[in-house]
Structure formats: C-alpha cells, structure tokens
Structure 1
Amino acid sequence: MPADRLHLVRHGEVHNPGRVLYGRLPEFRLSGAGRAMAAAAAAHVAGLERPVTALYASPLQRTRESAEPFAEAFGLDPVIDERIIEPTNVFEGKRMRRAVLNPGNWKYLSDPALPSWGEPYIEVVERMDAAMVAAWDAAESGDVVLVSHQLPIWITHLAVAGEPLRHDPRKRRCALSSVTSFERRGNEWREVAYAEPATTADAVDVGAV
C-alpha cells in the first residue's frame, strides 16, 4: 500500500538581515519567528490526526531546521532529498529591486516563461514529481511530509492544476510554513488542501527565488 496523503511544507522565516535573495546559498538559518512558524506547521499536521510515517527535507539549512518539529512530533528521522531543493538563480545574494534596475541583468529577464534567470520550471516540476512519487510509493501507509521551498511547491501546484507554469513570483500562494496537501489516484496527483497555520503578518519574506 502506498501513502494516503502527501504534504508539501514550506520552511519558516529565514534570518536575512540583508534582505537578499538567498536561493541555495549556505548558512541561511531560521529566525526565531521562523522556528515558531515551523512548529505551528507541525502542530497543524499533527492536529489533522492522520498518521505521518515518513519525513523528507531539502538539504538546505532552513528546510532541515523546519523539519525538526515534525521529527519530534512524529518520532521520525528526516530523509534528505536533493530533488526538493530550491532552484538555481543568477540573482542569489542580491537584492532583487536593485538587481532588476541594473541593465547588465536585463538579459536574465528576457524569457519569464522559462525562466531565463534560473532553473527551467519544467525541470523543477519533473524533479519534484519524481521525489513525490518515490516518497508516496515508499510509504506502506499513512501520510508523508516533504519540507521544501516556495517555488518548487508553487510550481507543483500549477502543474497539478493544469495551469501555465509562467507566473508572477509576487503572487504565489505559498506562505511561510504553509502546508499544501495532495493525494494520488492512479498516476495523477490531486490537490486536496492548503493551509497557513503560522502567523506571518510581520515576517520578512524576500529571499525566495
């Protein structure tokens, strides 16, 4: 028997005093508020009263730290999966508002549908789907949690919904420590729930690709 439900959980707020786009840069940890957000996400999933039997996380520090409350709540050791990592991006380490005003960077903005500034959306869809299918099939029963990042989660939502992958990054429905849930019927994913259990009104959220 495969899993019953799969939850894509975004990490909590990151300590980012420079307000840069951190992408895959190392040593970007959760802030104090981010740890509280991650705990709220774990409490939300626990409150569903559904058994969680497997836990996966992206290898980046912020996702590994966001997986800790889930590990404690469900007695699981998180498995690191490179396939659910943040996409590559040429603007890593930069403030986006400044970067887009620099004519030297305009070539990276030439094809938003690809996108031209980083890993193609279709490649993100394919690796996320591969990780989700593998986690789903590996579970004997119960729910599976994958702690990932905003773009991979949002692009998965778009692909499952049959919507165009090109989108405005400012309009993603994927808040910090949000939970996007799926079920699988045959070879098709179906989104069944979205929740924002954490308080994020005063959060700094400028680092997503």
Structure 2
Amino acid sequence: MAASLIHLVRHGEVHNPEGVLYGRIPGFHLSELGVAMATSTAEHLVGRPVTALFSSPLQRAQESAAPWADTFGLDITTEDRLIEPHNKFEGGALEFGPSLLLHPRTWPWIYNPYRPSWGEPFVEVAARMIAAMDAAWNATDGEAVMVSHQMPIVMAQRAVAGKRLWHDPRKRRCSLSSVTTFARIEAAVPGAPRYREVDYQEPAAALLLRAVDTGAV
C-alpha cells in the first residue's frame, strides 16, 4: 500500500485561561471553540478519500482527531512521534520572544536558539515527523490525516522545503486547525527531502478571529 497524500492537521483551540505554556503537561483539553474548529476542519475534507487517521497522544490532539474519526468512520491510531516537543518553559506563562531576556532564570535555556537549548532539538523533531509520515504513507491506501502540534508541523514544513530548521516561533505558518498537505516525491539524492508541500489551508479561519493561540514554544 501507499498513500496518495498526507495531511498534517494542527489541533484546535485549547482551554487555557491562564495562558500556560502547556507543552506535554496532561489535562489541557479543547475549548468549546476548539471542538468547533476541529469539526469544521474535518468537515472541510468530506469527499476526500481519507482512509487513515493518526494522532499525537496528547489530549488536545486526540480530541481534535475525534471529529475526523466520526466524519470518516475511522479509528484513531496513536502515533507517539507526532507529540509536542518537550521544553523547559512548560508550566510557565512567559511570552516567548525577546522579552525573555528580562528574566535571568531563563538565560541558561536560551543561549542557543539554533538547537534549541530550551528543549528537543529541531533536527530530532523533524526526523521523527518525517519518520511518522513515512510509516503512515506505507500503511495507507488513500489519504492519511495526522493530527499534531504547531512546532512539529512547522519542522516538517521546513525540512521538506529544504529550509533551515531554526526560526522565529512568532512567524510560524501553522494556525489552529490548519491543514498542511504533502505528496511523496523521489529523492534526488540519498537524504534529500522525500515529500513536497502541495497545499496549506485554514478551514476554521472564520473561528480563528475568536481563538486564543497560546501554549506553543
């Protein structure tokens, strides 16, 4: 078997009134708006031959995958490689950006933004995401949906495009409940990208105006 397309889908809005950088902390579930966003995004692909559904093990991703399961009559396959990266800011409420320089306790964490020094290396995130995509591609006859998180999806986007992995997190193109679609290509040389991005959509765009997007690093 081989898939025809892979859709990387970000989870919907999370109930997070305190603005916590939640990372892998358990217990962060979708808000009512987040459920509506996930449902809207799943309904947007009705009519497509979606035959496989994978999700990060975190609650917000599993809840975002549920409308896909209901809409397409699929079971959710938990894929650990789709998980949010671990990071040292989990549990805090600091705004990620230059303002971190005002907080001396964070200095040992941010000395190397190219790795990054505050959490799982970009190169490792990209590698596990591509590996998860490979596994889904080889196990799917049709189109596969993979529900994940902002940073892992951006790593896949950048790795496939041949861009440097380090970047400004404030400029990521990966909104809540967005869909980034990939097709498989023949690698020109060993180690070259095996996918190309063919589409990016924000099916829940109308709901984004009311959404609060916090918690990602």
TM-score (norm 2): 0.92
Which residue is 1:143 aligned to?
Answer: 143
TM-score (norm 1): 0.96
Check if 1:192 corresponds to 2:164.
no
Which residue is 1:7 aligned to?
Answer: 7
Check if 1:96 corresponds to 2:94.
yes
Which residue is 1:69 aligned to?
Answer: 67
Check if 1:41 corresponds to 2:49.
no
**CA deviation string 1:31-75 (max 9, x = no partner):** 0000000001101122xx221110000000000000001001110
* Distance in 2 between residues matched to 1:127 and 1:74, nearest whole Å: 26
* Distance in 1 between residues matched to 2:114 and 2:185, nearest whole Å: 29
Q: CA deviation at 1:102?
A: 1.6
* Distance in 1 between residues matched to 2:44 and 2:199, nearest whole Å: 12
Amino acid in the other structure paired with 2:50: V
* Distance in 1 between residues matched to 2:76 and 2:45, nearest whole Å: 16
Alignment gaps of 5+ in structure 1: none
Aligned counterparts, 1:88-167, within 5 A = 88-97=86-95, 100=100, 101-139=102-140, 141-167=141-167
Q: What RMSD over aligned residues (CA atoms) do the two structures have, in Å? A: 1.2
* Distance in 1 between residues matched to 2:151 and 2:95, nearest whole Å: 19
Identical residues among aligned pairs (%): 57
**CA deviation string 1:103-159 (max 9, x = no partner):** 0111111111100110000000110011000000011x2100000000000111011
Alignment gaps of 5+ in structure 2: 188-193
Amino acid in the other structure paired with 2:114: A
Amino acid in the other structure paired with 2:15: H
Q: CA deviation at 1:182?
A: 0.2
Amino acid in the other structure paired with 1:117: W
Q: CA deviation at 1:97?
A: 2.8
